[in-house]
Amino acid sequence: MGFYDLANCYEDLGRLELAEECYYAALRYQPSYDIFLGGLASFLYLHGKPEKAFSAYLEVLKVDKKNKCKDGIERCVIGLKALGEKMGWPETAVTEKINQILL
């Protein structure tokens, strides 16, 4: 949790490289923790790394599926589709990536 909190602090200070490092450090300790994954995904999206954000959101989707979190799955699918659209990816390609996890 310390690395995650530190990542948030660095992000607030505009120290984005250090923030990203700390998000990944937190995930080394708890790689399937949805809060850490979601924080990283949001960070990557907000700071101009949409492809990495998409991959991170796919990891969140995997965790939500494993935990049978229906609301989380729905939110991830909506977010992934919106992110895919923003990046100019065909809806079919995005749906295929989502289905690889859900089916």
- Complete domains list, the chain, with CATH: 2-102 (1.25.40.10)
Q: How many helices (H) and strands (E) does the chain have?
A: 6, 0
d(CA 12, CA 89): 31
pLDDT digits (tens, 9 = 90+) for 15-74: 999 999 999 999 999 999 999 999 999 999 999 899 999 999 999 999 999 999 999 999
Band of residue 95 on the pLDDT scale cut at 50, 70, 90: very high
CA–CA gap between residue 72 and residue 44 (Å, rounded): 19
Q: Retrieve residue 48's tokens.
A: 């101009």
Residue type, 98: I
Of 24, 32, 87, 27, nearest in space to 54 by CA:
87
What's the confidence (pLDDT) of residue 97?
97
pLDDT band of 90, cuts 50, 70, 90: very high
Mean pLDDT of 84-88: 94
Q: Supply the pLDDT for residue 98.
A: 97
